Chains A and B, each alone.
Chain A
Amino acid sequence: MNIPSIDYLLDESAKNNQPIWQIVLREEQADSGMSIEQLRERVEHTYSVMRDAATGGISSELKSVSGLTGGDAARYYKYFKNHKNLLGSLSARAMAYALGTSEYNAAMGVIVAAPTAGAAGVLPGVLLAAQEEYGFTDREAVNALITATGIGAVIATRATISGAQGGCQAEVGSGCAMAAAALCDVMGGTARQSAHAAAIALKNSLGLACDPVAGLVEVPCIKRNGMYACMAIAAADLALAGVESFVPPDEVIDAMYQIGCNLPSCIRETAEGGLAITPTGLRAKRRLF
């Protein structure tokens, strides 16, 4: 599915007096030949996979395949359940679910790439937490996921969602923008507010390096999913208050791409820079390979 711009989504949305998710569904229907009902069913199934992964991740102390990471999601979830926490209930829940999903991913569990496996925690973390806090229906959650997909599709069309090409801003940054738009949508925001939530979230991810220790999707990826879930909530909150991104969404996406092209290759998934080549990072790598 190629969606050329956020402006296109907003124009169509205004012209037809429809939310973003309806425009995205219409485009996908034309593209795939699947019916709206089939598409919705598939997204519903996707959401249930997300729920299973997040729950699987927090309920037991998973170890990653490499043995490098694991157990933090369960640790944080227990703390959240038993103590007063600093984040507040929505963000704390989102943190736990995002960490859980990413740990589940590192343990070779079944997850939904959103938009990639490395960034799989942010969107479900935010949406599942918000559903528990605010009690919206699965149908509304599915709409929000479709809104997020529209934002992700524009990023993939105009820029990139690959860490090897654009650094982590393209993966977790995109996931964060998608999550912000989804949350804004499901909390009653307008199409424009969702778009600006995405822009604010992506702006705050610009330049993010991809420097995974030992080349594995674990350090810093797992905690980063938790942190950016919280940031997505902040971005949605700003947008819902009427705050807009000074630089319009499409231009932010273009800026992300331009920065990605200028990032040296050592911080684009090659594990040749940043955290990957710290003494600790190198020690971990030597121990593993």
Chain B
Amino acid sequence: MFDILGPITVGPSSSHTAGAIRIGLACRIILGEEVKKARVIFYGSFADTYRGHGTDKAVIGGLLGFNTDNVKVRESLQLAQFRGMEYVIDTAEEPRYHPNTVRIEAQGATRSINLRGISVGGGAMRLVELNGFAIDAACLYDTLIVFHKDTPGTLAGIAQTLSGSGYNIGNLRLSRDKREGDVITIIETDVPVDGETVAALRQVGSVAGVVSIPKF
């Protein structure tokens, strides 16, 4: 309902501003720490019109942790400098990508990630690539991103831990990298998963990390 009557967002464009804020914010959440350095690359229509739509302010605002209804997005470029976050904005061409695509290379004190997101209209977005893995997360439900190895029992362990704590898995998708045996599993749940369960998931088998993204 609040995707039709909403989102509540700074203007001017649901796709070029609101969706972009959400991709930036998702990136900040997945990184799990303050962004120290970011390279933002716009493609397609994002590349053509990002200045007029404030798409740069939107993504940087998201990376600073602002949601769509936060007026601070307007001053995000100055706030980033103030907070010591370095960023560069680039544009590139890749005809195969969705017209509203942004890639973010974000670096924190201890980690870095590479995320590609697309803004699909009305403020909705999808994360389509994470650290080279093809993924698909729209964040319309409470979402867990689990990084683990392709070892027997890990997925079963994740599912058991969740169901043991009473969570219902609405959707589960995994992307595998055959060579290294790395896996990213995306799980959508009906309600947000509590911190204790997230901590328990981190102890399962070959799990290397768990990120919980609240639904937008």
Query: Measuring CB to CB, which residues of chain A are less than 8 angstroms from any residue of chain B?
Result: 1, 24, 28, 31-33, 39, 42-43, 45-46, 49, 64-66, 68, 104-118, 120, 145-146, 148-149, 152-153, 156, 160-165, 214-218, 269-271, 288-289
Q: Are A28 and B1 in contact (CB under 8 A)?
A: yes
- Report chain A residues within 8 Å CB of B18: 113, 117
Check B53–A216 contact: CB distance below 8 A.
yes
Give the complex CA separation of A146 and B2 in angstroms.
10
The answer to whether B49 touches A161, judged by C-beta atoms less than 8 angstroms apart, is: no
A156 to B5, CA, bound (A): 12
**CB-contacts of B1-23 with A (<8 A):** 1-18
Bound Cα distance A107, B96 (Å): 32
Give how many A-B residue pairs fall within 8 Å (CB-CB): 147
Contact between B11 and A217, CB atoms less than 8 A apart: yes
Instruction: List 12 additional A-B contacts (Cβ < 8 Å) besides A161-B122, A217-B11.
Output: A45-B8, A65-B52, A66-B52, A104-B11, A112-B7, A115-B4, A116-B122, A120-B11, A162-B15, A214-B49, A215-B52, A289-B51
Residues of chain A contacted by B121 (CB below 8 angstroms)? 116, 160-165
Interface check B151, CB cutoff 8 A: no
Q: Which residues of A contact B54 (CB under 8 A)?
A: 65, 108
Contacts of A118 in B (CB 8 A): 12-14
Pairwise interchain contact A49-B8, C-beta atoms closer than 8 A = yes
Structural contact, B12 and A153, CB atoms closer than 8 A: no
Main secondary structure of the interface of B (DSSP, over half): mixed
Number of interface residues of B (CB under 8 A): 37
Q: Out of B5, B120, B190, name the residue touching A148 (CB < 8 Å).
A: B5
Chain B interface residues toward A at CB < 8 A: 1-18, 45, 48-49, 51-54, 57, 69, 71, 73-74, 99, 120-123, 190-191
State A42–B8 Cα separation when bound (angstroms).
Answer: 11
Give the residues in chain A near B6, CB-CB below 8 Å: 46, 112-114
Report the minimal beta-carbon distance from B55 to chain A, rounded to whole angstroms.
11
With A65-B52, A215-B45, A216-B53 known to touch, is A117 a contact of B12 (CB < 8 Å)? yes
- Which B residues touch A288, using CB under 8 A? 51-52
- Can you list 10 A-B contacts (CB < 8 A)? A1-B3, A66-B51, A105-B12, A110-B9, A116-B121, A145-B5, A152-B5, A153-B1, A163-B121, A215-B45
